[in-house]
Each structure stands twice: as structure tokens, then as C-alpha cells.
């Protein structure tokens, strides 16, 4: 059973709060049980993952029924949504249904059904995540993997039923949905979702009658919190301030510590691997470093060159490709044995695509990614190939290269370099927004006469940018 706390006989008031909606543990079990009663068959359910109690109830309902959940970003454009629905084989839809979606809608039953015992190896969540090229891939996470990943975090963060987790992150990624909601429901702590991850909303919870003990954010969220010192100071009494999903600049780490009186806990993870590395609640928190493997996870750093297979030294300086192994890893990409095989380094090791260094104490620092084609903007993982393909569909675009350029707030901002005539910047941005999620829109389009290419004709993205 993944959500163990839901089987406890004792009720818990305010177990889940999303904006103004409040459910006790018993209330959630009842609502999710009624949702489960309305699921037709046992195929995956696509959940329109708005930041709402409905999403929590639907996801929990699917898990109680032993049916895989496919969270669909609520703003995903038709091209992206069609791909997710087709590829996942979703058999039903939960939430507000766009006209073009013809799947049957889940209608909650009058009576809740009891949770079923499911095979822990069965996919519990299918999370769509970008690769360097093509449409997003569905990472299959089993109930066993999710449980192992969460149990590791309970240990390293000292997370207990007495905690209250607070965040406002999207409910269609590991960070917001799995850690931020399922984590609480597994251990039995409370969770408050602020609908949007705005500083004033975090501060309002911190100053309320029911303050949080752990606040989660991506670096962009923390950047906005420190820009509002009053909001930052409201978080001073929290037990842990946790940052992850993208690199936390050292200056931001220091500023959080200065304003709140406590250094943030950094942790590193991926959709495919859950959380691998983290600082400990009671241990060292080092700016620029993401800590030690969580219980059950192992890491190794292999040389950047394929010819040399000797692991790089743990000297805190030599960069290697980060590989991860452990029971919290995904079971593969849906319908993509090629991509699954490519990510598999053998013997259970998964190639993360990240570059890292490790010191003698086992602390890790992420120094970058192997490919410039995976962009992290606001904590979202975005493949440049997917945006390029959509832009190339536009009649005024002859050639295009999409890159991530440094941005103080977002970490990286999406910039499209376009060779073509006719289209304006706004037209091209709107063209992307009409097909893909909003966060995949380029922030900027730069029209150029030609793209830099090597003698083989390949675009040299590293030569682009200001
Ligand atoms: C955005 N806007 C634009 C454009 N882009 N307008 C014109 N052109 C564009 N190209 C609009 C937005 O729609 C919004 O408008 C306004 O500008 C502000 O946008 P933005 O600055 O992006 O702020 P935001 O929309 O508030 O987003 C920042 C954010 C968001 C809240 C930090 O990026 C976010 O929720 N990130 C979290 C991602 C995450 O959870 N990642 C976890 C995956 P309007 O206000 O009108 O809407 S990683 C993971 O799960 C692993 C395992 C891990 O390690 O955690
Ligand atoms: P996603 O699959 O969206 O979770 O994105 C995973 C990627 O986010 C990783 O491969 C890293 O590149 C990046 N990432 C996650 N956490 C951190 C972190 N704490 N520091 C640096 N990069 C991170």
C-alpha cells in the first residue's frame, strides 16, 4: 500500500488543504473512494492536473483503485495532450474535459469502494517528461519505486506525521505531486497547497494558525521569496526549507540563510529516478552542493569519454557523468524501448545525462548537463527539439535553433534563433503556445541570417547566445 496513512483508523483534520478547500483524512478517503468507484475498467486515467483538490482526489482515487495515473498539464496544447493520451493508452479522463477529448469522463460513484491491494511492480504513475528531441516520454513509476523514494526522504529529512508540508508547485511532476502530496499521504503528515507558489501565499500559511514545518520550492520560487524579505522572514520558524528541481545559485542559498536564519536543504532528482541526493536535516548544508545519496540510492561518476571506463576520482573537482542505481528508479519509458535502452548503463545503472563532481565525503555538486538540448526553466524540463519541431511547422520559419540562456529568475530562459521572413516574434511565441504547454513558449525570438554550423552542417548551439 503506497498511501499507508490512509488506512489508519484515526482521522486527521486538515489532512489536505488546497487553496480554500480542506479535507480531513477520512474526507479524502471517502472522496477518493467514490472517485475510484467511478473509474471504468483498469486502464490508465488521464487526470487534468489543475492545482486543485479535484486533482488530489483523482490521483488518490486511482491509486486506491490500483489504476495508473497520467497527470496531464492543464495548459498542455492539443499536440502535446494528444500525444500523452495516445501514448499512455489512457482509458478515461478526470477533470474538466476539452471538447476534442473523447475519452469517457470519470463520474464519482455514490458509495466509496475499498482500496485494493495492487502489485507494487505495476505502474502507479506515468509522468511525461521531455527528452532532447521529439515528444515527451512517459516515465513509468511503479508503486514500489515511489514508496522507496519517499521512504528515503522521510529518513533524511526527519519527515514525520507531525510535519505540515507547504508548497504551490504543479501537480503533474514528481516534485509537486509525488513528494508534495503523496509523500504527506504516505507518512501521514498534513499538506497545504497554495495553488500558486507565490511568496505571499507561503508567508500567509507561515503566519496562520496552521503554519507549515517544511516548505518546498524550485530555485525560481526561492528567488521570488528572497525578493520579498517580509515573506522570507515569515518562514524563519519552519523546520526545513527545501530547494530542488534545478540548480540553486550560491548567492541565493546565502540570501535564504540570511533572511530566514536557516540554510536551505538542497536535493537533486529526476522524473526517472525520484530523489537521489540530498543534504540531511541534521547534517551539512553546503551552498552549490546537493548532498549525499538518500538511503537505497547509489551513484557513480563515469568519465566523459566512452573509451576510458575508470571511475573519476572523488576529489571534488573531476567532472564525470552521473549514473544512479536504486529501488526508486522508473521501470522504463512507455512504448520507447530504444530510449529505455539508451538510458541503461547496465547492471541497474541509469544514465542521468547530468555532469557532477563528488568529494571524499561523498557530497555531490551538479555542474551541468551533457546536452545543451535539455533546458531547465523555472524548474521545468524542456526539450529544445520539441519546440524546434513546432516552430518549423510555421510557414515563415526556415531554420531554427532553440537554446536555454542564463536567466537570474528562471535559471534558464528559452530563446529561439530563427532564420526566416515574415513572422513576428509574438506570432511565433503564440504559435508554440497554441500547440504546447505555456512554459514551453520561447521568452524571446531572435531573427538571424544564418545559424552557426560545423563543416558537417550540424548547428553549433554553443556558438549562439549573447
Ligand atoms: C511566460 N509568460 C510569458 C511567456 N512565458 N508571456 C509571454 N511570452 C512568454 N514566452 C507569462 C506567464 O504565462 C505568466 O503569465 C507570466 O508570464 C509570468 O510567467 P513566469 O515568470 O514563468 O512565472 P510563472 O508562470 O509564475 O512561473 C514560474 C514558476 C513556474 C511558478 C516558478 O515555472 C513553476 O511552477 N515551476 C515549477 C516547475 C516544477 O515543479 N518542476 C518540477 C519538475 P500569467 O501570470 O498571465 O499566467 S522536476 C522534478 O519533479 C524532479 C524530480 C525534481 O528534482 O524535483
Ligand atoms: P525533471 O525530470 O524535470 O525532474 O528534471 C531533472 C533534471 O533537473 C535533472 O536531470 C537535473 O538536470 C535537474 N535538477 C534537479 N534537481 C537539481 C538540483 N538540485 N540541482 C541541479 N539540477 C537539478
DSSP states along 376-394: EETTEEEEHHHHHHHHHTS
**Is residue 115 lining ligand 1, measured as CB closer than 6 Å?**
no
The best mutation among 268, 272, 328 to test binding of ligand 2, ranked by most ligand atoms within 8 Å of the C-beta, falls on 268
Backbone angles phi, psi at 154, to 5 degrees: -55, -40
**Is residue 423 lining ligand 2, measured as CB closer than 6 Å?**
no
Pair 57, 91: CB distance under 8 Å: no
Output the CA torsion sign for 245, 249, 255, 257: positive
Atom number, ligand 2, closest to the C-alpha of residue 366: 21
Q: What is the pLDDT of residue 305?
A: 73
Select from 3.40.50.300, 3.40.50.12780, 3.30.750.24, 3.40.640.10 the CATH code of 4-365. 3.40.50.12780
The best mutation among 132, 172, 365, 376 to test binding of ligand 2, ranked by most ligand atoms within 8 Å of the C-beta, falls on 376
User: Per-residue DSSP letters for 177-217?
Assistant: IIIIIIHHHHHT-EEEE-SS--HHHHHHHHTSSS--SEEEE
Residue nearest to atom 23 of ligand 2 (CA): 246
Q: In the numeric block, which cell numbers belong to residue 455?
A: 563543416
Query: In terms of Cα–Cα distance, which of 137, 141, 147, 139 is closest to 124?
Result: 141
Give the DSSP H/E element, type plus range, for residue 375.
Answer: strand 374-377
Output the CA torsion sign for 423, 427, 430, 431: negative
Q: In the numeric block, which cell numbers belong to residue 392?
A: 518549423
Would you call 87 helix, strand, or coil by DSSP? helix
Q: Cα-Cα-Cα-Cα dihedral of 253, 254, 260, 262, to 10°?
A: 80
* Alpha carbon distance 290, 279 (integer Å): 6
CA distances to 129, 368, 402, 453 from 374, rounded to whole Å, are 11, 10, 10, 19
Q: In the numeric block, which cell numbers belong to residue 45?
A: 486515467
Pair 94, 45: CB distance under 8 Å: yes
Q: Cα-Cα-Cα-Cα dihedral of 179, 180, 183, 184, to 10°?
A: 170
**pLDDT tens per residue across span 299-326:** 999 997 777 778 899 999 999 999 999 9
Give strand pairing partners of 299: 324
Backbone angles phi, psi at 412, to 5 degrees: -130, 145
Residue nearest to atom 7 of ligand 2 (CA): 270
* Coarse DSSP helix, strand, coil percentages of the chain, rounded to the nearest 5 percent: 30, 25, 45
- State the distance from the centre of ligand 1 to the C-alpha of 199, rounded, in angstroms: 14
**Is residue 380 lining ligand 1, measured as CB closer than 6 Å?**
yes
Residue 338: other Cβ atoms inside 10 A:
9
Q: Where are the domains of the chain?
A: 4-365, 374-463
Would you call 445 helix, strand, or coil by DSSP? strand
Q: What is the pLDDT of residue 304?
A: 79
- Which one-letter DSSP state was computed for residue 53? H
Expressed in angstroms, the distance from the first to the final Cα of the chain is 51
pLDDT under 50: residue ranges of the chain: none
Backbone angles phi, psi at 300, to 5 degrees: -145, 150
* Alpha carbon distance 286, 2 (integer Å): 32
* Alpha carbon distance 384, 404 (integer Å): 8
Residues for the chain: how many in total? 466
Q: Which residues does 384 contact at the CB level (< 8 Å), separation at least 6?
A: 132, 372, 373, 374, 375, 401, 402, 403, 404, 461
**pLDDT tens per residue across span 223-256:** 999 999 999 999 999 999 999 999 999 999 999 9
* Alpha carbon distance 129, 12 (integer Å): 34
Residue nearest to atom 15 of ligand 2 (CA): 245
* Alpha carbon distance 375, 368 (integer Å): 11
* Residue 120 exposed, middle or buried by CB count within 10 Å (0-12, 13-18, 19+): middle
Query: 374-463 belongs to which CATH class?
Result: alpha beta
Q: In the numeric block, which cell numbers belong to residue 129?
A: 517528461
- State the distance from the centre of ligand 2 to the C-alpha of 271, rounded, in angstroms: 9
* Alpha carbon distance 150, 175 (integer Å): 11
Amino acid at each position: 500500500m503506497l498511501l499507508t496513512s490512509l488506512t489508519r483508523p484515526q482521522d486527521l483534520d486538515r489532512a489536505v488543504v488546497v487553496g480554500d478547500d480542506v479535507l480531513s483524512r477520512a474526507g479524502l478517503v471517502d472522496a477518493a473512494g467514490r472517485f475510484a468507484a467511478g473509474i471504468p475498467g483498469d486502464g490508465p486515467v488521464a487526470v487534468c492536473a489543475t492545482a486543485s483538490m479535484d486533482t488530489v482526489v483523482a490521483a488518490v482515487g486511482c491509486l486506491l483503485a490500483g489504476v495508473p495515473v497520467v497527470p496531464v498539464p492543464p495548459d498542455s496544447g492539443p499536440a502535446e495532450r494528444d500525444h500523452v493520451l495516445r501514448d499512455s493508452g489512457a482509458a478515461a479522463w478526470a477533470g474538466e474535459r476539452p471538447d476534442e477529448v473523447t475519452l469517457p469522463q470519470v463520474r464519482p460513484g455514490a458509495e466509496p469502494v475499498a482500496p485494493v491491494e495492487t502489485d507494487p511492480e505495476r505502474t502507479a504513475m506515468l509522468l511525461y517528461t521531455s527528452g532532447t528531441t521529439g515528444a515527451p516520454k512517459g516515465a513509468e513509476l511503479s508503486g514500489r519505486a515511489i514508496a522507496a523514494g519517499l521512504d528515503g526522504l522521510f529518513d533524511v529529512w526527519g519527515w514525520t506525521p507531525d510535519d505540515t508540508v507547504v508548497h504551490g508547485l504543479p501537480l503533474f511532476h514528481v516534485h509537486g505531486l509525488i513528494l508534495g502530496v503523496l509523500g504527506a499521504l504516505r507518512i501521514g503528515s498534513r499538506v497545504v497547497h497554495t495553488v500558486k507558489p507565490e511568496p505571499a501565499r507561503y508567508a500567509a500559511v507561515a503566519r496562520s494558525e496552521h503554519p507549515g514545518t517544511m516548505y518546498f520550492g524550485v530555485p525560481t520560487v526561492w528567488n521570488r521569496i528572497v525578493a520579498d524579505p517580509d515573506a522570507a522572514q515569515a518562514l524563519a520558524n519552519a523546520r526545513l526549507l527545501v530547494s530542488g528541481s534545478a540548480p540553486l545559485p550560491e548567492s541565493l542559498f546565502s540570501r535564504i540563510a540570511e533572511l530566514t536564519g536557516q540554510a536551505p536543504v538542497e536535493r537533486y532528482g529526476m522524473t526517472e529516478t525520484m530523489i537521489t541526493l540530498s543534504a540531511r536535516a541534521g547534517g551539512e548544508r553546503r551552498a552549490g552542493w546537493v548532498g549525499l545519496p538518500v538511503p537505497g540510492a547509489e551513484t557513480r561518476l563515469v568519465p566523459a569519454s566512452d573509451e576510458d571506463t575508470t571511475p573519476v576520482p572523488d576529489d571534488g573537482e573531476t567532472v564525470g557523468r552521473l549514473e544512479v542505481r536504486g529501488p526508486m528508479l522508473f521501470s522504463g519509458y512507455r512504448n520507447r524501448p530504444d530510449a529505455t535502452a539508451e538510458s541503461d548503463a547496465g547492471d541497474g545503472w541509469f544514465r542521468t545525462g547530468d555532469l557532477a563532481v563528488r568529494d571524499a565525503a561523498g557530497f555531490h555538486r551538479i555542474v551541468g548537463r551533457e546536452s545543451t538540448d535539455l533546458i531547465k526553466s523555472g524548474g521545468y524540463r524542456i526539450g529544445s527539439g520539441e519546440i524546434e519541431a513546432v516552430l518549423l511547422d510555421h510557414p515563415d520559419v526556415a531554420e531554427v535553433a532553440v537554446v536555454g540562456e542564463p536567466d537570474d529568475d528562471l535559471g534558464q530562459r528559452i530563446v529561439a534563433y530563427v532564420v526566416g521572413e515574415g513572422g513576428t516574434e509574438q506570432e511565433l511565441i503564440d504559435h508554440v503556445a497554441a500547440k504546447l504547454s505555456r512554459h514551453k513558449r520561447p521568452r524571446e525570438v531572435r531573427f538571424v541570417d544564418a545559424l552557426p554550423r560545423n563543416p558537417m552542417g550540424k548547428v553549433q548551439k554553443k556558438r549562439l547566445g549573447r
